Chain A
């Protein structure tokens, strides 16, 4: 059992999401930075389907009600373990009654806290993830919440510390052409891959709103609604692109100019409001 003393700006339970329900409109959801989430589980020897806590901009404080094996990955939030600094990307033991506190990461946005056994909340449609778009899954964590520890532990962990590339100071995301590149003016692709873009304040787990040069349409009219993927960069009529993340809607009605490659989605999920990002053709 883990008691939440403070959730920070936003903390949610996440796993690998709800694949397979798109036809009735259920988004996949799941950890926004999947690689960081998976690493946290591996470090404590969890099975891949175990849930972790996705911590947004640090600030989480939790107390162990019994001795627990934990790991923190993702955005490099300073870790205070029972009053002492502790290493990220490594298994940690939190004694019964002791408190783990995450500070504000100097870079990046989302950190993942895994506990050996997995965070145990009731699954909804096969997943424990909080989906901010659909509202499925548990509510975001609040002070006083008590999180059960599940039984999704596998073999004893063997990794002492994982080498992880830091969140870069000047992030560049690789993109492939999207299905509706021809709906935008030819200059739109060049602007996307040649200019700097800033992540706007109204960004969340659904998507990043980007500000930069206005992307002009080559075609008028409306696009019939079609399926979306995480990483899709959609251009609404106001010309400001949206880069979809884990809680993206299943379908959308605006043209998708480009798609961020799967390997760079975790980095996209680490961008925070005000960050400057560039795109380059994969």
Chain B
């Protein structure tokens, strides 16, 4: 295990920061296997695992997290392939094309040719952070988030692609939209895209 930093996050949580997504998965596995006293929930992110407690954290917790012996990531079976139909007509498509230095049609072809994978959830129920964007297709978030992004909008932000499962505020660059139902509480499991799944955008 490489670098582990423990950052303060108020009086009911600590934030564990590591170097990459593999280390995030390892920290999460270790804390699921051997939880801190009073541990309520783990929220993985891109470089972090937020550890929620039912009590104020102390120095003992910080020391325990720094010493964490992480479970070695086992060789994983490739996850299920989920094909998502996408209409590439997002309001930020021209901006993203300009930022990445290619015509919109070429950008769309490249996005449709990718195999992405679900790294972690968050932001909204059923929202999945999709990794696998090559460096030349990575663009920053919008400087001012939109107050409303419609359900099904397909966006890019930094190293991730994602699909908004429901209408919500959001700062991602919108390149397309889908009719796929990302989240349904009456479906088991509720989320279409779950950690480990592989994802392709089918242009339509």
Contacts and interface: CB of A to CB of B under 8 A. Distances in A.
Q: A and B: real partners?
A: yes
Interface residues of A, number: 45
Contact of B141 (A179, A231, A251, A253): A253
A83 interface: no
B46 interface: yes
Given A178-B8, A253-B141, A23 B44 contact: yes
A1 B168 CA distance: 33
A24 B48 contact: no
Contact of B10 (A19, A20, A232, A249): A232
B125 A227 contact: no
A103 interface: no
Contacts, number: 144
A238 B143 contact: yes
Interface of B is mostly: strand
A227 B141 contact: no
A134 interface: yes
Interface in A3-46: 19-27
Interface stretch (A61-69, A211-219, A255-263): A255-263
B157 interface: yes
Contacts of B152: none
B171 interface: yes
A134 B125 contact: yes
Contact of B13 (A125, A177, A229, A238): A229
30 contacts: A20-B41, A22-B41, A22-B43, A23-B120, A23-B121, A23-B195, A24-B125, A24-B126, A25-B121, A25-B122, A25-B183, A26-B125, A124-B185, A133-B124, A134-B166, A178-B10, A179-B8, A179-B9, A225-B123, A226-B50, A227-B44, A227-B49, A227-B122, A236-B144, A236-B171, A237-B144, A249-B122, A250-B121, A260-B10, A262-B11
Interface of B: 7-13, 15, 17, 40-50, 52, 120-127, 129, 140-141, 143-145, 147, 157-158, 160, 165-169, 171, 183, 185, 189-191, 194-195
Interface of A: 19-27, 124-125, 133-136, 176-180, 202, 206, 222, 224-229, 231-232, 236-238, 249-253, 256, 259-262, 282
Given A22-B43, A225-B45, 9 more contacts: A19-B41, A23-B41, A24-B189, A25-B191, A134-B168, A225-B129, A236-B144, A259-B10, A261-B10
